Chains A and B, each alone.
Chain A
Amino acid sequence: GAVVSQHPSWVICKSGTSVKIECRSLDFQATTMFWYRQFPKQSLMLMATSNEGSKATYEQGVEKDKFLINHASLTLSTLTVTSAHPEDSSFYICSTVGGRDNEQFFGPGTRLTVL
């Protein structure tokens, strides 16, 4: 399957600052990537669909001005959490679509802690 990396793997920031998370498809050209967040012991919640060269599509209830997504190339999508607050602390995971049956392959995740 596709190999996906994320950077950083963890980040701690102060409330009010912005944090950028990178998602890279290392061996696959990804026109579409997905961003999820996950709380402890819970399933993945889709935040948005990132489309190369166009605006991201956000799920209902996700603030697009707070979670800025940029997909400027076929191998890189970024998620910027703007003016982060403690309630934004979570595990953020990205994925690419690939494979014969449109499977999704996930990055290792980024743990964000906002103090």
Chain B
Amino acid sequence: TQLLEQSPQFLSIQEGENLTVYCNSSSVFSSLQWYRQEPGEGPVLLVTVVTGGEVKKLKRLTFQFGDARKDSSLHITAAQPGDTGLYLCAGLYNQGGKLIFGQGTELSVKP
């Protein structure tokens, strides 16, 4: 059974601080997707990483895919209250197949 361990599950920080969210697995993924979800809404895709060692940036968010494609991280620089939400990583382990979701990280950024 493929598992994707996401940590931390809860994070409460002050505006301006940096943070990193981790997703780790013993399985190799074809790709890994990061989503952000706000209460009462569906997840919104932030980025997809495909190549081992790949780094993608989205404004203050930096996403990295491990060399072996088993792990990924999301780093947020100078967090803002608008970054508050549930962050989900999800691994795709076969083309067109199911996503394996991490447990999610509930981020709260206080002004």
Contact = CB atoms under 8 A, between A and B. Distances in A.
Interface of A: 1, 4, 6, 32, 34, 41-46, 49, 91, 93, 95, 97, 99, 101-109, 111
B43 A99 contact: no
B48 interface: yes
B41 A108 contact: yes
A1 B45 CA distance: 9
B42 A99 contact: no
B48 A105 contact: no
Nearest to A45: B101
B48 A99 contact: yes
A89 B101 CA distance: 21
B103 interface: yes
A46 B98 contact: yes
Interface residues of B, number: 27
Contacts of A4: 42
Interface string B80-105: 00000010101010011111011110
A109 B44 CA distance: 12
A21 B44 CA distance: 20
Contact of B96 (A32, A46, A95, A108): A32
Contacts of A104: 33, 45, 90, 99
A35 to B, nearest CB: 11
Nearest to B99: A104
Interface in B33-61: 33, 35, 40-45, 48, 50
B49 to A, nearest CB: 9
Nearest to A99: B48
B106 to A, nearest CB: 6
Contact of B42 (A32, A101, A103, A107): A107
B73 interface: no
A41 B95 CA distance: 29
Given A102-B31, A106-B44, A109-B42, A34 B88 contact: no
Given A101-B50, A104-B45, A107-B42, 15 more contacts: A1-B45, A41-B86, A42-B103, A43-B6, A43-B104, A44-B101, A91-B40, A102-B30, A103-B45, A104-B99, A106-B42, A108-B41, A108-B42, A109-B40, A109-B41
